Amino acid sequence: MSKNGFFNFKKSTDGVEAFTQETIDNNNQENTQIGLGNAGTQSDLSPTKDTIGIDHSIASIENLPEDIPVYIPNNGDVTTTTAEGTLMFSYSTNAEKKIVVDYFLTEMNNQNWNLITTSEMSAQNMIMWSFEKDSRNIMIYVIGDQMEHTYIQIMIPVQR
């Protein structure tokens, strides 16, 4: 280095490199976390889906009649399709299947829907209902334990 503090690039830098490596080696031997012990290395906490405070729930679904309830909280992942004269709405929630089942049975009754049939398919962890109100019929499927989600599918015949 010159007397002005600038590097002299015409001189060999071996001494500078040696000094730099020696300084790094010395610094790495110092205990730089005095008093911290194992801070942050042995946490008992693990992330869960319940720790995320963002609510993506939707409260209504386009084209779903108002007298058909939407389970909340849900994951906001609504898919709407029309196939073979049937309008289908599908979405999911992190709630347990039993809670979702109880919700739909209660809310459909509150909306004056009559339960016509119930089919339970235990191998698929699925329940299906057929409801009737006035001249309308709908089917609701609730499928549990699908990658920590419960899936809801509502099927409505398209009125012609």
Side-chain half-sphere of 33: how many Cα atoms within 13 Å? 6
Better-predicted residue by pLDDT, 157 or 47: 157
Question: What's the average model confidence in pLDDT over 147-152?
Answer: 94
Is residue 9 in some structural domain? no
pLDDT at 40 over 80: no
pTM score, two decimals?
A: 0.65
pLDDT at 120 over 70: yes
Residue whose tokens read 């979702």: 100
Burial pattern 93-112, b for ≥16 Cβ within 10 A else e, equals bebebeebbebbbeebeeee
Percent of the chain with pLDDT over 70: 65
pLDDT at 146 over 60: yes
Q: Please count the structural domains in the chain.
A: 1
Is residue 21 in some structural domain? no
- Bridge-based pairing of strands 136-146 and 79-83 is unpaired
CA distance 43 to 54: 24
Residue 148: which domain range? 57-157
Is residue 22 in some structural domain? no
Backbone angles phi, psi at 159, to 5 degrees: -75, 135
